[in-house]
Chain A
Amino acid sequence: MSHESQFCHERGLPFLEAQSLTKTYRVGGSTVHALRDVDFTAAQGDFVVINGPSGSGKTTFLNLISAIDRPTEGDVLIEGASTAALSERQLAQLRKDKIGLIFQTFNLIPVLTAAENAEYPLLLQKLSRAERSDRVQSILAEVGLEDLARRRPNELSGGQRQRIAIARALITQPKLVLADEPTANLDSETGAQVMALMRTLNEEHCVVFIVVTHDPAVAGYARRRIRIHDGHLMEGGTDDLVDSAPKSPS
């Protein structure tokens, strides 16, 4: 993969900021708070693991910072630019150019081969066939699946599928990769391999990785650990609330 540098010059510079993020849903006649007034910052080169039990708001938080959902209140800034006022089309453009996504269930397109799945985001960027082919070969080599390029997802193991999903997330050279429970459907050994791969890619490409999981084993790969509980973020991955503690009304 032709990333510019093996060294992260910009490590530590803020890339993503969530400001007072609140997300509520109407369920029946009542309001459910999925996220409550959350502040969060991720810097270049971060590898953040957000840990929390089911229903704690992990996926909601990920949906908001990946710009596939809009907050009820608050804003998400990417490289200092607000996303609140962006149109659907602009948000799609933002996701296409700057964000890579990895899903719990891999979400590969069954009718496409491994290589075609990895290639898909490049089609949206109108690159030449030759350039797309180069990038696909490079990224498949990087995730160790160049020999399985022609296989369909149903011909791959869970770990191989997740590697393809990682390749797909990284092929556009995004600055932010968001992973939702990437090891949930993998055995512990394969999960560890996938996490190790993500960590390596984070270090080599200076990509911000934000991984949400309820798997405590994943936390070991983090530069930063955050725990989410009842819609609140707590730095440290333990029960100690840090910068996202609920704000008391003043």
Chain B
Amino acid sequence: MQIKTALRNVFRNRRRTLFSLTVIVVGFAVLASVLGFIEEALRSTQVSLASESGAVQVAAEGLFENTTDGFEYLIDPVRLDRVLSEVSALPGVVGVSWQLNFAGLVGDESGSTLIIGRGVVPCSDVQDYECIVTIGDPLGESSDRQVVLGRALARKLNVGPGDRINIATGTVSGNFNAATVDVIGEVTYAFEELEGQLGLFPISFVQRLLKTDGVERILIGLEDLGEAAAFAAALQARLTDADIPLVTRTWEELNPSYESISSFYGAFSGLAMIGVAILVFFSVLEVLTISFLERSREVGTLRAFGTPRGRVFRSFLLEAGFLGLIGAVAGALISVALILLFNGIGFTWTPPGAAIPQAIRLGLSTEVVLMPVLTVLLSTLLSALFPSWRNARIEIVDALRSV
């Protein structure tokens, strides 16, 4: 009967209950939206970062640690094939690509500037962002003496698709080399500094420019980014067994900025949870305090019949628990509906450090629903603690006297 009584008491004053439930539902919806946004932002940031770096990379340790001299980190074709063989033996791979990067000068008769040249396998499964150009065309499989410039670099050079520019850099043997390439497109990057120096070239062209048949790093795309660490460890073991002196790095290790992005969002979601918890706590506290005090005479009656204080305390807490639970269920249903509606509309944004504009979606995982459930339940129960305790402690005679 305690449960039945508690449930009936929840709906005893419908207007007051409606207010409490509204606060809980609004708090729930706000928190679920914030958590959903953060979850989706982190997920799209991960995807974006991994689309540039690959989920896992393989290269000489000296390259990752920046401790090599010259081009001794290069992976020759024989070793590349051996690594690809090892990679193909592992599950979950969606694609493999490789890069050869260089620093050089770019310009024409009117002047020159620094370029970070990235030799890539055009439109690979791992780095499909290269195919998204804002102006012109992406690199194709048959591309050779062509470049897609960072948009800011193109502005700096005052060139665009159809123009020709000169590239100059040092070869692996230390000599000077130069070539003329056609600008076929422009690509936008979130980091303007990088956009102002970046040039994407077919890797075969960069190999000729640097006079090498080697590659700098191997990029591996995975079906599940969450498996990157396990995959990297498994691949590392195979490389070691095969006596291949290369190491693996996950996308997270390659993008240390992700940790700070993740921490920022973590702190933001923590603040949102605290904010909603405080909102629910004080709103429900006020309502419950009034509601419980109005029932002092009932408490006196129950206590006069021999009801222990503990049972009175538990009954009020149970009532608050039901209020929180009903609010949480209503909040979950409404929030899920709102999130689905929002996702159905479809907006886009470019996350920090990302090249590809992402759809603004709100995540809808178990955590997005469960965390607000716990937050509103806990705040409601906490807000009920003091009024419940005070009502349970009230002297019977005083309670019976109250109107």
Contact = CB atoms under 8 A, between A and B. Distances in A.
Contacts of B298: 107, 109-110
B304 A68 contact: yes
Interface in A22-80: 63, 66, 68-69
B306 interface: yes
Interface stretch (B5-13, B23-31, B177-185, B240-248): B5-13
A18 interface: no
Interface stretch (A116-124, A142-150, A190-198): A116-124
A93 interface: yes
Nearest to B403: A105
B42 interface: no
Contacts of B1: 112, 116, 119-120, 123
Contact of B306 (A107, A110, A111, A124): A124
A66 B306 contact: no
Nearest to A120: B305
A221 interface: no
Main secondary structure of the interface of A (DSSP, over half): helix
A105 B307 CA distance: 19
Given A66-B304, A92-B308, A111 B9 contact: yes
Contacts of A66: 304
Nearest to B2: A123
A89 B308 CA distance: 7
A121 B302 CA distance: 8
A224 interface: no
B396 interface: yes
Interface stretch (A5-13, A95-103, A228-236, A237-245): A95-103
Contacts of B303: 68, 92
Interface residues of B, number: 24
Most A CB atoms within 10 A — which of B4, B308, B309, B396? B396
Contacts of B343: none
A111 B300 CA distance: 16
Interface string B259-303: 000000000000000000000000000000000000001101111
A88 interface: yes
B322 to A, nearest CB: 13
Nearest to B401: A59
A110 B309 contact: no
B12 A110 contact: yes
Nearest to A101: B304
B233 interface: no
B9 A107 contact: no
B307 A68 contact: no
B146 to A, nearest CB: 79
A92 B298 CA distance: 16
Nearest to A96: B306
Contacts of B307: 92, 124
A155 B133 CA distance: 75
B27 to A, nearest CB: 27
Nearest to A66: B304
B297 A88 contact: no
Contact of B400 (A89, A93, A103, A121): A103
B5 A68 contact: no
A246 to B, nearest CB: 24
A110 B304 CA distance: 17
Contacts of B8: 111-112
Given A68-B396, A69-B397, A112-B5, A95 B301 contact: no
Contact of A88 (B2, B9, B309, B400): B309
A89 B280 CA distance: 35
Most A CB atoms within 10 A — which of B4, B303, B306, B309? B306
Interface of A: 63, 66, 68-69, 88-89, 92-97, 101, 103, 105, 107, 109-112, 116, 119-121, 123-124, 168
Given A63-B397, A101-B304, A123-B1, 18 more contacts: A68-B397, A69-B397, A88-B309, A92-B303, A93-B306, A94-B306, A105-B297, A107-B301, A109-B301, A110-B12, A111-B5, A111-B8, A111-B9, A116-B4, A121-B305, A124-B306, A124-B311, A168-B305
17 contacts: A63-B397, A66-B304, A68-B304, A69-B395, A88-B309, A92-B307, A92-B308, A101-B305, A103-B301, A107-B300, A110-B12, A111-B5, A111-B12, A116-B1, A120-B1, A121-B306, A123-B1
List the 9 shortest-distance A-B pairs measured between CB atoms, nearest first. Answer: A96-B306, A111-B8, A107-B301, A68-B396, A95-B306, A92-B306, A69-B397, A121-B305, A68-B304
